[in-house]
Amino acid sequence: MNYFYYPGCSLEASAIEYDTSTRAVMKALGAELVNIDDWTCCGATAAEPVSPLLSYALAARNLALAESRKLGWDILVPCSACYVNLKKAELEPRSDPVLKSQLIEILAVEGLTLKGSLRVRHLLDIFSTDINPEAINKNRTRDLAGLKLAPYYGCQCLRPYAIFDDPEEPRSMEPFIRATGADVFNWDMGAQCCGASQMSTKPDSALLLVKNILKQAKGTDAIVTVCPMCQLNLEAFQKQASTLASEDLSVSVLYLPQVLGLAMGLSWENLLLAKNLSLKQRLSTTLKQVAHAQLSA
Amino acid sequence: MININTVKDMVKTCMQCGTCTGSCPNAPAMDATPRKLWQMVLSGKTDQIYKTKTFAMCSWCYTCTLRCPRGLPLTRAMTLLKTLAIQSDIPGFRSSARFYKSFVESIRRHGRVRETEFMTLYFLAMKNPLLPVRFSPLGMKLLQKNKLDLRLPSRPGLGNLEAFFLKVREIEERS
């Protein structure tokens, strides 16, 4: 299992724990990740409104860089916003020759070419398609039994490109949560929107979305995410959401590879669990106990 | 050039069923529902469109795009309205426009975005002394976890994306 790895800007700073835990888990599963040298921002949700062509071009630049290595590997993308941008640059030039020739002209400025031969894949796609949950179970040295975890998929790993899961009622995280020994918390909010970058530009409406999600998470030990934007919105605005709801909505929020890594015996430090903005004391204590008690053979 | 007719073409087979409105998580916060917005686009009521907050409230969840029985690219149409609002400097969209432009400026300068730099650019563009206050609780949380990198992005010294951006602009202007 070899992949190009596109971290995206968030994973270098505010979501550093997502980057570190993804790399650690993929390594433990025997996958090799190769960085795309000189990768640049995908444009996030900001470039498209400023210039639709720029948004394609920024994403295509990264595909062209990976392609120039002539290895033919899929590109692993952990961030859902990066994923959707890179995916559209993979798919749309195929059916839009004008766009394709524009992108070729832009990339030529840096001596790059775009054939469009590489597949862009979200981390969750790679887990659910290439990696059998049994591989987690087989590598498991710890048991998360007794924990109820709520899978949260968000939007852009599911929509508009419905590739590896049901875009309305996703289930792909469930076998992986069960493979750690934990139970899946059943709720209807897994594919609902967290507000994404609207939390900065239209905070009132985004906070309403976050409040609705957190409200339904009552009774779970943690929400599990696969996107740095979802993670930040769900973990960083709990106080404001609680005020809005007139009740305590605080809840732990973890990245999926952090959960898998814990079960697979990776250390607290290796998964950067100290970096999460919302890890409740009770769960933190439980997870530390789990981390110290290896499963007996 | 992109104009309102580009958006009109994208939604021209809209049959006003309202599935978009029923699917939109932000519809409760909108003054006109997405269905009504498409009606305004179809009947060429450009002034009305820019008076609504509707397109500005779209958070790119793509649920309307997924469910539209006509298969219309509605999320993209919403984004194009944002593009047009930026190009026409619509007062109601100025704050969002400055946010997006500050983000893009950070990409142009370094190829990658540092939250600290682009937020500084945004605050400077907004000239509102109270705005940083709204973001300070988040900033403090990130700072406490040592997650705010005050250095510029790590991309090894290959310069900015100036030529790349200029080429994009050149193609946009001639097409």
Q: Write the pLDDT tens digit of every residue in A141-175.
A: 999 999 999 999 999 999 999 999 999 999 999 99
Name the pairing type of β-strands A32-35 and A2-5.
Answer: parallel
Q: Minimum mean pLDDT among A1-15, A214-228, B93-107, B145-159: which range?
A: B145-159
Cα separation, B121 vs B105, in Å, equals 8
Interface residue of B2, B19, B103 to substitute, partner A, most A CBs within 10 Å:
B103
Q: Taking each helix axis from N to C terminus, what angle separates A238-245 and A228-236, rounded to the nearest 10 degrees?
A: 50
Is A66 in a helix, a strand, or coil? helix
Q: What is the mean pLDDT of residues A285-290?
A: 89
Instruction: Find the residue in A nearest to B111 (Cα).
Output: A40
Q: Is the pLDDT of residue A104 over 70?
A: yes
Do the chains contact at B107 and A41, CB–CB below 8 Å?
yes
Decide which of B136 and A211 is more confident.
A211
User: Given this model, what pLDDT does residue B158 score?
Assistant: 59
Q: Which of B25, B134, B172 sits opposite A193 (nearest CB)?
A: B25
Do the chains contact at B145 and A43, CB–CB below 8 Å?
no
Q: How confident is the model at residue B143 (pLDDT cuts 50, 70, 90)?
A: confident
Do the chains contact at A202 and B153, CB–CB below 8 Å?
no
Q: Which two tokens stand for residue B44?
A: 């060429």
Instruction: Find the residue in B nearest to A57 (Cα).
Output: B168
Do the chains contact at B113 and A44, CB–CB below 8 Å?
yes
Asked if A8 and B113 touch (Cβ cutoff 8 Å), the reply is no
Minimal CA separation from A197 to chain B, in Å: 7
Do the chains contact at A13 and B103, CB–CB below 8 Å?
no
Q: What is the mean pLDDT of residues A273-297?
A: 86
A61 touches chain B (CB under 8 A): yes
Q: Is the pLDDT of residue A289 over 90?
A: no
User: Given this model, what pLDDT does residue A295 score?
Assistant: 63
Q: Provide, as residue numbers in chain A, all residues whose Cβ is less than 8 Å from the Cβ of B62.
A: 155-156, 159-160
Q: What is the mean pLDDT of residues A198-216?
A: 95
What lies within 8 Å, CB to CB, of A94 at 6+ separation is A100, A116
User: Given this model, what pLDDT does residue A291 score?
Assistant: 80
Q: Is the pLDDT of residue A224 over 70?
A: yes
Q: How confident is the model at residue B119 (pLDDT cuts 50, 70, 90)?
A: confident
Longest dimension (CA), chain A: 61
| B:55-94 residues touching chain A, CB 8 A cutoff | 56-57, 59-63, 65-66, 75, 79-80, 82-83, 86
B157 touches chain A (CB under 8 A): no
| Cβ density class B4-37: b for 16+ within 10 Å, e for less | beebbebbeebeeeebbbebbbbbebbebbbbbb
Minimal CA separation from A209 to chain B, in Å: 7
Cα separation, A9 vs A294, in Å, equals 35
Do the chains contact at B26 and A16, CB–CB below 8 Å?
no
Only one residue has tokens 């939390």, namely A199
Instruction: Find the residue in B nearest to A199 (Cα).
Output: B59
| B:1-40 residues touching chain A, CB 8 A cutoff | 2, 25-26, 28-29
Instruction: Find the residue in B nearest to A53 (Cα).
Output: B168
Q: Provide, as residue numbers in chain A, all residues whose Cβ is less than 8 Å from the Cβ of B100.
A: 46-47, 49-50
Cα separation, A133 vs A178, in Å, equals 8
Q: Provide, as residue numbers in chain A, all residues whose Cβ is less than 8 Å from the Cβ of B79.
A: 48-49, 52
Interface residue of B19, B26, B61, B80 to substitute, partner A, most A CBs within 10 Å:
B61
Do the chains contact at B95 and A41, CB–CB below 8 Å?
no
User: Given this model, what pLDDT does residue B157 score?
Assistant: 53
Q: How confident is the model at residue A297 (pLDDT cuts 50, 70, 90)?
A: very low
Q: Is the pLDDT of residue A229 over 90?
A: yes
| A:30-59 residues touching chain B, CB 8 A cutoff | 38-41, 43-54, 57-58
Residue-wise pLDDT for A47-93, tens only, equals: 999 999 999 999 999 999 999 999 999 999 999 999 999 999 999 99
What is the residue-wise DSSP string for B102-170?
A: HHHHHHHHHSS--HHHHHHHHHHHHT-TTHHHHHHHHHHHHHHTT----SPP---S---SHHHHHHHHH
Helix (H) or strand (E) holding A120: strand A120-122
B125 touches chain A (CB under 8 A): no
Minimal CA separation from A176 to chain B, in Å: 25
Do the chains contact at A41 and B63, CB–CB below 8 Å?
no
Do the chains contact at A200 and B135, CB–CB below 8 Å?
yes
